[in-house]
A and B are shown apart, each in its own frame.
Chain A
Amino acid sequence: MKLTKLLSCSLSGIRRKKGRTTLTIIGVTITIMLIVLNISMMKGFGEYYTSEMKAIGSNWLSIYPGTYEETPQGGWTRVAPEVYPLTLQDTENVSSVQHVVRASPVVESAMFLPEFNKSFALTGTTPEYFSIARLTLEEGGMWNESYTYEEGMDIPVVVGKDVGKTFTLNDRTQGVVNLTNYNFTVIGVLEHKVTPFFLPSYDKAVFIPICAAMSITGRGNKLHQIVVEVDNYENMNTVALGIKNTLKERHMGIEDFWVVSLADVIDLVDRQMAQWDIFDLIMNLFALLVAGVVILVVMIMAVTERKREIGIMRAVGAKRKHVLFIFLGEAGIIILTSYLIGCLLGFSLLYSIKAGLGGMFAFIGVSEIIIPSMVTAFYVCIPLCILFALYPAWKATKVSPIEAIRYE
């Protein structure tokens, strides 16, 4: 079989109805472009999320005051307040549980800096927190373990990368916390740290010593959270059980706290993302179905219109396989052209989104994300569209030569 000659027969069929072919290509191109965009976004986001998880480390636990229950939707909700608050003493006891490397108390609030007219999240903690969260200093230093706060003193501050652009090293400024003015001095600026989307960004956080935070936020000895680093991921369940037992003992047998691991949070997000993946897959299949139906209709029209041409070809010696190839070739050319234009447009659009919006779309990597998406689209879209073209092409092979020649 002379493939190039048969393909030129397919091309001749396409040239016959240029307008209709162009419109079909536009329709299928848009579908393929959307699929490429969709796959790229989902794949890019998935990879971005995984890399963030790796960056933050998965062997840590958080302890929150109060009783929490899992919701049917897959999240957690606080169902009762704590009877006994989490305290610094609790933190010390947690530190002594087997396999716990370190534990750090956390008190959270917000601060407003009138000089810069900006508000920041305020975290009161100990230097251990930085080790647990794998935060490293870019410049400056850290308050030491023995730091004690007395009213009227300047409060040492370690700031995240983004905050550091406004409130830089050695800056001294007045800030409002809990409606009271305090003096803050920046003693350290953290390196940029990737934060999972469901956690507050470290780059936008301000850290102060726990003793100062307890005093200025008015929380006293009531912690918002205790973060714990476990020596090994395999020991997470053992440590969680150990913490529960230790704290229950301290809280008069009441489990009025919630121990959650980062792995639990990741698992929750994974489950929710899996639901999105299914939804996304269904949407892509629907889009492909539309493209397939467009191809089907156009090819049925082509076969009907060119019935006599099929008859002529059969009369001059074309076998059924030749007719099948010519019509499949025609559909193939339309699909392949649409695929190439769709990929090109998808690529340009993703690149524009990345360049224009940046930030939240930083995960769009050209070679890592778009090219695999194009390959996926190639292996899914083209065979599926060809499948839709198979019926009209098969119908064309069934045309009787005499009937076709007589066809008006």
Chain B
Amino acid sequence: MTLLIVRCLGVEKTFKLGKHFVHALCGIDMEIAKGDYVALTGPSGSGKTTLLYLLGGLDRPTNGRVLLEDEDLSKLPEKKLAEIRSEKIGFVFQMFYLIPTMTAISNVLLPLTFAGKRRFKDETARAKELLKLVGLEGREHHKPNELSGGEMQRVAIARALVNDPLLVLCDEPTGNLDSKTTEEVLSVFDSLNKTGKTIFIVTHNAAVANHCKRILKISDGKIVGRIK
């Protein structure tokens, strides 16, 4: 039996821009199962990133429910959402968003700083292990400005994994990388998924989407197609 970890039920999101209301998401229904490898594709402004932020508990839907392991994220207080982000979600952004003054290992360790409970006996060893997993062994003490784009994204992936999250959410993770580096990063995601990690990637790159087991197409805030 497939274990569902994310369920979106009639999710709507409306933004107020000046005097106008913009409907970014219009009744999204979707599910993500444990070990799933899902790509969400669609043109710019279709609501991809908005949906990713809702799944990650960074934002709340205007209507509908986002359930993460049966916990309704739309109803949780801010403090609880922060705990969920810390324990169950890992984010990978297009622009890497590493802290420039921190070394690679310190960036990887950052989520553990905010985690309530100590989940790993030796946190540094855990961070080193992840950096090794993404192919950055020996680069632990390099600062972001000493790393290439692909290396920075791999540090960001290691950071997303450090809390052993239930769900890894990636927002255009290869959007800022060349084709060779894109392949390297995608191979990291592929191998992670093979180990059972659930990955949700937002992309408008078909090649990236083709790496995934499932592809969802979104347009004007609605899921308009499900491939694979």
Contacts and interface: CB of A to CB of B under 8 A. Distances in A.
Interface of A: 2, 5-6, 8-9, 12-13, 15-16, 308-309, 311-320, 322, 401-402, 405
Contacts of B58: 314-315, 401-402, 405
Interface in B42-56: 53, 56
Contact of B82 (A15, A16, A312, A318): A318
A317 B82 contact: yes
B120 interface: no
6 contacts: A2-B112, A5-B109, A9-B99, A16-B101, A317-B82, A405-B97
Interface stretch (B1-9, B84-92, B189-197, B220-228): B84-92
Contacts of B110: 9, 313, 316
Interface string B69-95: 000000000110011011100010100
Nearest to B98: A312
Q: Is the interface of A mostly helix, strand, loop or mixed?
A: helix
Give the one of B82, B100, B106, B159 with max A CB within 10 A: B82
A311 B171 CA distance: 15
A122 to B, nearest CB: 75
B98 to A, nearest CB: 8
A232 B83 CA distance: 75
Given A311-B97, A312-B97, A317-B86, 19 more contacts: A2-B113, A9-B99, A12-B102, A12-B106, A13-B101, A15-B101, A16-B100, A16-B101, A314-B82, A314-B85, A315-B85, A316-B86, A316-B91, A317-B163, A318-B86, A319-B83, A322-B114, A401-B58, A402-B58
Contacts, number: 69
Interface residues of B, number: 28
Interface of B: 53, 56, 58-59, 78-79, 82-83, 85-87, 91, 93, 97, 99-102, 106, 109-115, 159, 163
A12 B58 CA distance: 25
B59 A402 contact: yes
Contacts of B82: 314, 317-320
Contacts of A401: 58
B93 A316 contact: no
Contacts of A319: 79, 82-83, 114
A313 B78 CA distance: 14
Contacts of B114: 313, 316-319, 322
Contacts of A6: 113
B102 A316 contact: no
B97 A308 contact: yes
A312 B108 CA distance: 12
A15 B101 CA distance: 7
Nearest to A11: B101
Contacts of B113: 2, 5-6, 9, 318, 322
